[in-house]
Amino acid sequence: MSTEEKSLHFIEQIIEESLTNGFPKEQLRFRFPPEPNGYLHIGHAKSICLNFGLGLKYNAPVNLRFDDTNPAKEEQEYVDAIKEDLLWLGFNWTEERYSSDYFQQLYDWAVEMIKNNKAYVDSQSSEDMAIQKGTPTQPGVDGPYRNRSIEENLTLFEAMKNGDYPEGSHVLRAKIDMSSTNMLMRDPLMYRVLHRHHHRTGNDWKIYPMYDYAHGESDYVEQISHSICTLEFVMHRELYDWFLDQIYDKNKVRPHQYEFARLNLNYTVMSKRKLLQLVQENIVNGWDDPRMPTISGLRRRGYTAASIRKFCDIIGVAKRENVIDVSLLEFCLREDLNKTAPRVMAVLDPVKLVITNYPEDKEESLDAENNQEDDTAGFRKLPFSRELYIEREDFLEEAPAKFFRLSIGNEVRLKNAYIIKGESVVKDSEGTITEIHVTYDEDSRSGSGSEASQRKVAGTLHWVSIKHAIEAEVRLYDRLFIDEAPDSHKEKNFLEFMNTNSLEIVKGFVEPGLASSTAGDKFQFQRLGYFNTDKDSTEGKLVFNKTVGLKDAWEEKGKKEANLLMNTQKEINKYVKEKDLSNADLMLENIVSNILSIDNFSLINQTVAKNVKNDNNSLLFANLVLLHSDKVQPKDIEKEVLTKLYTMSLKSQLAAVRILAIQNLSTDAANFDEFTNQLAELKNTEKNEKVSDLLNNLKL
């Protein structure tokens, strides 16, 4: 096998095998088939890049087909948004199609199936049909209407089509096999009655085809050669093929379904239903809120199409589900923006800096490089004057040894300008610094070539000239969720993991050149991160969105939290050995404080589970985490793990462990009764006074 062949993903290998076996290359045809019931998200981007990428690779047509078979949830707004997203990502389609284009053909085929005794009208309730369908281990049974005559089925089906029956009164089902091991083959629904307005066909139809019926047949109409779906449709493939068997003409291309692993991203939800909930409950500001994982949200936040395509290329196409770290997406974005985004000056938490030995009426235009990563980016002019804004965090009156920014008596360089030295401060009545007074070295201007300009100093600060600065609203966006898998915890609502700090709005100041920026323009605010101009900007008000930081702050935070928990567990060992009660209390206070500072639910949950073992100090730590963390509760811990924790802790030789276990059980109503006998036995044998007092206060 050649190197090129080895690099092919499995879908490409399937196509290559088809071609090798004689399938005509000119008959290759693909499609991207979104349902217009919501906005596309980053998960769809993988499918888009796959399908359109195959089209480009094999010079084959790719249709955009909207599977618009459910008028209750579909809207023209979503159709328009999907087309906009595709074009922005850099892809164009061969033909724009709709499943609704084929409603008459689908109906005609359904009539033929009835005539061939392959479909029938069922008039039962959905509850009765569900009962008769059986379970994965128990076969289904035939319903009372399964053997209706062909004539009666045809009459009923036509009446359904004409709108003679209310919603829920009848459905058309395929007649396959009620005992099939694949429950999808147990007479699946083909049509249901819906008196709903369709965004394209209006009120022409009173019945609408089910997705499983319409999808494969639509592929056949369009002569799609390779129908590519995500893994959840593996079990649907048998049904896909059965429906094709009813209509297939050997002189035409027969579509084949292939499945790949969809994109799962941590710190994100991909469910359209949950994303819609965020929008409808005004938790976010619409589908294009920059915190949303939608393509439109990412675009508004400042993501580039190239970075998303690169991300999809890196993660590849696989057969197994896995979770991709969102930091990889952010890495692809930084890599792209680093090459393309102009560097500009902006100050988001300003404090006034006065250069006392700089003439009051003097102004300069300094040369500033636009992007050191781009040789063609050139330079721009920056106005400089006596009074500037710098970031408040870039100054400390008295600085520690490793503080490489401005402080009294120390020198730093102002980017593209001069070296300055901290001299004094002015404070208000509450002690807050309102002005920083510095002096500058007139001979140290950047790029002047003077000896002073080449002098090395500890740090370089960004700034804006107060006289020339433009005020701007800056929206500091962060991840929408604080947990790695917000919708994976059975006993918790994903909304419990919302990041309350996902949006902070500040008033900042930017260099004057940004006054002419327009929506979508991207910049690197030097030393702060990447930002872009938001569509809310007007002539008199600039609005910028934070796209991504210069570094992965979440990775750093994750490492810090993991390290903090690890170090806290070491403190447990010291706490247990401490003889001085006052010192022990202080140590315990610090341990609890550390536990409370951890935001990551999964990390906390895993910490409890990992410490359920035959070791007193580990049990003490697990109980402390469970008792004091506001991120995890007993119901969040796996039942087996929790039972083991309580059982072992109540038997622990360490009184502190028994005390904590009793305290946890006393607030755990769901599990308390299970341990009443063990608690009663402990009450009869307990010798520690504190433990006895706790037990006596329990209602056993």
Q: What does the alpha-carbon distance between residue 459 and residue 14 come to, in Å, rounded to a whole number? A: 56
- Which tokens belong to 2? 């050649």
Q: What does the alpha-carbon distance between residue 545 and residue 298 come to, in Å, rounded to a whole number? A: 11
Spatial contact of 698 and 662, defined as CB atoms under 8 Å apart: yes
Spatial contact of 413 and 455, defined as CB atoms under 8 Å apart: no
Amino acid letter, residue 8: L
Spatial contact of 54 and 13, defined as CB atoms under 8 Å apart: no
Residue 459 CB coordination number (10 Å): 14
Amino acid letter, residue 248: Y
Residue in 399, 311, 356, 325 with CA at minimum distance from that of residue 555: 325
For 115-162, give the DSSP string: HTTSEEEE-S-HHHHHHHT-BTTB-----TTTT--HHHHHHHHHHHHT
CA distances from 631 to 31, 331, 494, 593 (A): 44, 29, 13, 13
Q: What does the alpha-carbon distance between residue 525 and residue 504 come to, in Å, rounded to a whole number? A: 17
Measured in residues, the chain has a length of: 700
For 65-92, give the DSSP string: EE----TTT--HHHHHHHHHHHHHHT--
Q: Which residues are annotated as a binding site for ATP?
A: 35-37, 41-47, 230, 262-263, 270-272
Active-site amino acid positions: 35, 262, 272
Q: Which residues are annotated as a binding site?
A: 35-37, 41-47, 67, 211, 230, 262-263, 270-272
Q: What does the alpha-carbon distance between residue 303 and residue 453 come to, in Å, rounded to a whole number? A: 37
Sign of CA dihedral 212, 214, 215, 219: positive
- Which tokens belong to 226? 């390779």
Spatial contact of 532 and 302, defined as CB atoms under 8 Å apart: yes
Q: What does the alpha-carbon distance between residue 31 and residue 687 come to, in Å, rounded to a whole number? A: 74
Whose tokens are 């001069």? That residue is 418
- Which tokens belong to 454? 């080449």
